[in-house]
Copies of this chain bind each other. A is one copy, B any other.
Amino acid sequence: MGDHVYKIVELTGSSSHSIEDAINGAVKRAGQSLRNLRWFQVTDTRGHIEDGQVTHWQVSIKIGFTMEDGG
């Protein structure tokens, strides 16, 4: 483990099913454009309500990934 530099991006995942599902969706989407994802941290847990029911779980996370050398 050398002296790596990690970058942190913030995403909000959304799911009609569960908190874990909203996080999984955000991580999966981040993986489409970024490599070497390492960890996440939850920063906010919210949701959308319609007709008195939670319809979407919205979870904001910070995702850290290893930066590779170069520009």
Residues of A within 8 A of B (CB): 1, 3-16, 18-20, 22-33, 37-42, 44-49, 52-57, 60, 62-64, 67, 69-71
Q: Report chain B residues within 8 Å CB of A55.
A: 1
Q: Counting chain B CB atoms within 10 Å of each CB, which of A3, A6, A70 scores highest?
A: A3
In the assembled complex, 17 residue pairs joining A and B whose CB atoms fall closer than 8 Å, in A order, are A1-B55, A1-B56, A3-B13, A6-B11, A7-B9, A12-B64, A18-B20, A20-B54, A23-B54, A24-B54, A27-B52, A29-B67, A31-B52, A32-B71, A39-B49, A42-B46, A49-B63
Quick one: copies of this chain in the complex?
12
Question: How far in angstroms is the closest Cβ of chain B from A34?
Answer: 9
